[in-house]
Structure 1
């Protein structure tokens, strides 16, 4: 076989390689990420779970993997699933959102990694939805509540704990679309003063005029805020 034929044979083998590996596609993204996609029926119902050091989406009927997502040097501690979103909290304090085809965004929350270090049980309650459709996600730490827009990870508002107090992520409730947070203050205040009430627009106060959380181009024509009536 002459050199030309050998070269053509080698090229054909290289071109055929993607057909062999089409069942799995790996994307390496920033922060030491590895996102692997696996071939599966697009309409099959999907569930998401933590498995080992990765977040995994799988076919509910067959258990076949749809995608897996891992980060070098970190592992997931908590997961919140919403339509089209898989929010994960990692040991290094990073919060991520993963969709069916890619990792959408990463957000580092100050002090969260140090607070979680050696205490994976503390991850319970850190990720909290702020509305029925999970358009807004709250990340609750003892020092503050950080609210991110699910669509793009934009930080929309912050609520610091009162001086001498700390939020307790494990003690929350969701009555009527409101997130109630325990904020213990060392026994100095009554129990009602140790609660904070928030929703997707921030802390709930009488007559507030929040900015809103629409994506650019989706807000009101006058770009005004959302007026919230005082309680009757």
Structure 2
């Protein structure tokens, strides 16, 4: 009897092992990503939108959904669309870029990158409506994207999510994502300061290379191995 009980226990353990392994694998899904395809790829043009808590791609002609991308424990608050890209801002402060052109059903290939912005999640939790204005393009071709948060502006290269520059708010000041404007190739940001920290200039201008200041020598933003076409790069004087 005892041998029978031990044998049954061993069999149950062996049968349960694949389930335990699968559960652990699911728990390790990066950033809680989950991707679902509704139908086989079609030749028609696709568009993306926020649907419920996820990013959804759908057929422009029929409106039929093609796929959805969501993240466990969070939801999409804002979406920036560029050719081939859907950059989403999530309630936990994560920013992701989803490939809208490639026909694949795997998260690893569909989602290009994830970037977490410190402090952004807590600020959005207090008021999700604040998400409007957080995602801002920095050039006409949308190769650079700014994530505007009260404490800092973070600029990412859209192609690969590389963080190219940071602009922190001085003490006593905070950027206001709801008060931005695009003009003459620049993004204007309101940066109000309070009390003794008040500054004569509470409006900041930035572009893909960072804050616009006289005589700046910014880094370029091209992908590694490519020639800089944005005017970036430190200019070194000729030896006298």
1:68 corresponds to: 68
* Residue equivalent to 1:155: 163
1:144 aligned to which of 143, 148, 152: 152
Matched with 1:119 is: 127
Task: Show the counterpart of 1:218.
Answer: 226
Which of these residues, 194, 211, 222, is aligned with residue 203 of structure 1?
Answer: 211
For the residues of structure 1 that align with 2:29 and 2:217, how far apart are their CA atoms?
Answer: 39
Q: Where does residue 83 of structure 2 map in the other structure? A: 83
CA distance in 2: counterparts of 1:110 and 1:123, whole angstroms: 15
**1:182 corresponds to which of 181, 184, 190:** 190
CA distance in 2, matches of 1:186, 1:34: 43
- Return the match for 2:175 from 163, 167, 188: 167
Question: 1:60/1:226 Cα in 2 relative to 1: closer, same or farther (>3 Å)?
Answer: farther
Superposed CA RMSD: 1.8
Q: TM-score scaled to structure 1, two decimals?
A: 0.80
Show the 5 A alignment for 1:41-52: 41-42=42-43, 44-52=44-52
1 or 2, which has the higher helix percentage? 2
Q: Which ranges in structure 1 are unaligned for 5 or more consecutive residues?
A: 1-27, 228-232
Q: Is the 8 A contact 1:35 1:103 kept in 2?
A: no
- Cross-structure match for 2:40: 39
**How many residue pairs align between the two structures?**
195
Segments of 4+ moved more than 4 angstroms? none
Q: TM-score, normalised by structure 2?
A: 0.77
1:77-103 per-residue CA deviation (whole Å, 9 max, x = no partner) reads 000001110000001100000012401
Q: Which residue of 2 aligns with 1:93?
A: 93
Gaps in structure 2 of 5+ consecutive residues: 1-27, 103-109, 236-240
Take 1:226 and 1:39, find their aligned partners in 2: how far apart are those partners?
49
